[in-house]
DNA sequence: AGCGCCAGGTTGATACGTCAAGCAATGAGT
DNA sequence: ACTCATTGCTTGACGTATCAACCTGGCGCT
């Protein structure tokens, strides 16, 4: 066939990264699901909500924090509300309802965060050690900047 | 609330990684979809198929390469067959049908791979440069090993 | 040969993500 | 004050992922 056998060093390294990301992700996700009965999406929303003092914030704020589409968030909140993890609250301006963390939701995230953090440390932070971790993060930040630049160019086209 | 404000260095670096992975992924995926009308799943299956001389291999082999569930693969192949990218072929043993890359599928992947590779270089490989890339890949490999060890322990429990 | 077993694949039900269209409440223009 | 444009949220439809149940054809056993 041709091109696909000629994988250079760089491409093999790219594949290593892809593999790592895939496995790490699925491992963390499965753990969260098994131990805490939370999907990754549930977890993310709950974490964002705890970042407010009042366990409550406008939907738009959650949307901004998660960078999700509004419709995705809306569906997600509906499902989470059905399971009693959050509840929708009408704020003073009826257009922009708030979301509040219920006690059940708070209990769930309180259990999940330490477990998740422990897992992240065991599988990632401690594996790399401080210096390599710093280098890794720096690399990620650089890639992020490159992405931003690229995106800006695409938008202005 | 407490714990979530006390994000250490390490946790912020973890978040940086998560952000990077998310954005990089979605950027590559969108590009593939827009330019080549292929989903990430399509792309992966097609790449695996080109790794065979005959553009054809047993379903099980694709499953092993992609590490997907058999049902996911089956659905995916059905959809790809409907779109004419692949076709199912009965092999000598009727239990284990083969999948073959059609001409259309070959054309699609032939267009997609160079574009994708170019993107990966622009956004990742070239951003890091050779030495940092090597360090990065080494880190990924180490995390992968840690994951394997962890998984082994889980299985033997 | 007839019997059940089993590995692997397919199918169907359900949950999730995305897109496009709809809806509701405010604020600006007249 | 009435209309309407805007903004953000919700809804519905469709494509995809996952889980469990179910075929199906080859294999060993008696």
The tens-digit pLDDT sequence of chain B (157 residues) is 444 455 688 999 999 999 999 999 999 999 999 999 999 999 999 999 999 999 999 999 999 999 999 999 999 999 999 999 999 998 888 889 999 999 999 999 999 999 999 999 999 999 999 999 999 999 999 999 999 998 877 766 5
How far is residue B80 CA from its own chain's centroid?
16
Say how far apart CA B106 and CA B138 lie, in whole Å.
33
CB pairs under 8 A between A and B: 142
Contacts of B13 (CB under 8 A, 6+ apart): A125, A133, A134, A136, A137, A140
B147 in A contact zone (CB under 8 Å)? yes
Look at residue A37 in the predicted model and tell me its pLDDT: 93
Q: Which residue has the tokens 């593999």?
A: A19
What are the pLDDT digits (tens) for A17-41?
A: 999 999 999 999 999 999 999 999 9
Give the largest CA-CA distance in chain B: 64
Kindly write down the DSSP assignment for every residue of chain B, as one continuous string. --GGG---HHHHHHHHHHHHHHHHHHHHHHHHHHHH---HHHHHHHHHHHTSTTSEEEHHHHHHHHT--HHHHHHHHHHHHHTTSEEEE--SSTTS-EEEE-HHHHHHHHHHHHHHHHHHIIIIIHHHHHHHHHHHHHHHHHHHHHHHHHHHHHHH-
pLDDT of A92? 77
From edge to edge, which strands make up the β-sheet containing B56-58? B56-58, B98-101, B86-89
Per-residue DSSP letters for chain A?
A: --GGG---HHHHHHHHHHHHHHHHHHHHHHHHHHHH---HHHHHHHHHHHTSTTSEEEHHHHHHHHT--HHHHHHHHHHHHHTTSEEEE--SSTTS-EEEE-HHHHHHHHHHHHHHHHHHIIIIIHHH-HHHHHHHHHHHHHHHHHHHHHHHHHHH-
In whole angstroms, how large is the CA radius of gyration of chain B?
20
CA distance B1 to chain A (A): 7
pLDDT-above-70 percentage for chain A: 93
Sign of CA dihedral A29, A31, A34, A35: negative
CATH architecture of structural domain B3-128: Orthogonal Bundle (1.10)
Q: Do A122 and B150 count as a contact with CB atoms less than 8 A apart?
A: yes
pLDDT > 90 in chain A, percent:
83
The answer to whether domain A8-128 has CATH 1.10.10.10 is yes
Find the Å distance, CA of residue B71 to C1' of nucleotide D22. 13
Name the residue among B47, B132, B141 with its Cβ closest to that of A16: B141
Does B136 sit within 8 Å of A27, measured CB to CB?
no
* Residue A141 pLDDT > 70: yes
Q: Which nucleotide is nearest to A99 (CA to C1')?
A: D9
> Tokens for A100?
């509040």
Q: Would you say residue A3 has pLDDT above 70?
A: no
Contact present, B67 and B105 (Cβ < 8 Å): no
* Strand D nucleotides with an atom less than 7 Å from a protein beta carbon: 7-13, 15-21, 24-26
Cα dihedral B115, B117, B119, B125, rounded to 10, equals -160
Tell me the per-residue pLDDT of A52-98, one tens digit each, with 9 for 90 and over: 989 999 999 999 999 999 999 999 999 999 999 999 998 878 888 99
Q: Which two tokens stand for residue B24?
A: 């990089």
How large is the average pLDDT for residues A104-130? 95
Structure tokens at A149: 């630049």
Say whether B123 and A135 touch across the interface (CB within 8 A).
Answer: no
Give the residues across from A86 on adjacent strands.
Answer: A101
């Amino acid at each position: 066939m041709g091109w696909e056998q000629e994988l250079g060093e760089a491409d093999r390294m790219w594949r290593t990264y892809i593999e790592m990301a895939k496995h790490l992700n699925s491992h963390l996700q499965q753990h969260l699901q098994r131990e805490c009965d939370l999907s990754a999406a549930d977890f993310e929303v709950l974490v964002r909500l705890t970042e407010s003092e009042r366990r409550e914030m406008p939907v738009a704020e959650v949307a901004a924090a998660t960078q999700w589409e509004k419709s995705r968030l809306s569906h997600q909140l509906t499902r989470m509300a059905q399971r009693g993890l959050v509840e929708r609250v009408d704020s003073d301006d009826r257009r922009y309802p708030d979301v509040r963390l219920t006690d059940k939701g708070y209990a769930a995230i309180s259990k999940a965060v330490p477990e998740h953090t422990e897992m992240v440390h065991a599988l990632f932070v401690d594996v790399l050690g401080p210096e390599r971790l710093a280098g890794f993060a720096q690399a990620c930040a650089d890639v992020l900047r490159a992405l931003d630049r690229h995106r800006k160019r695409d938008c202005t086209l």
